[in-house]
Amino acid sequence: MNTRVLLLTQVIVVFGAIMLVGAFLMISGKHTFGGLIISGTGAALGVTIAGVLAILTRTLLPPEFSVPVPWFSVVLAIGVSCVTGLLFGYLPANKAAKLHPTESLRYE
């Protein structure tokens, strides 16, 4: 979340120039989609690494031990990550898009 806020703070001047042309939805949509892609990729990578570790653990442990990986937890992890990415991609982008273009051009 902090990375997305920092990114938007740094490029607010560029957003002012884009808003002068009238592209409010472009700003919000671009950063919301970016947050979704970043968090979804991270979730998929995390679930893949966890699955590989579970398979390796199954091969190393004696047969009486089991390492279950329920599908519900995988879907829940990816879903929560994507919702978090959408939320923290949209909120800062919406704040930046609501600024007046002349204010954002002077923003430091």
- The yes-or-no verdict on residue 5 having pLDDT over 90 is no
Amino acid 30: pLDDT = 78
Give the pLDDT confidence of 36-92 residue by residue, as tens digits: 888 899 999 999 999 899 888 888 888 888 878 889 989 999 999 999 888 888 887
CB 104 within 8 A of CB 13: yes
Question: What is the value of pTM for the model shown?
Answer: 0.70
What are the residue ranges spanned by the domains of the chain?
2-106
- What angle separates helix 12-21 from helix 71-97, to the nearest 10 degrees? 70
pLDDT 10s digits, 33-47: 888 888 899 999 999
C-alpha dist (Å) from residue 22 to 17, 26, 100, 104 = 9, 9, 11, 14
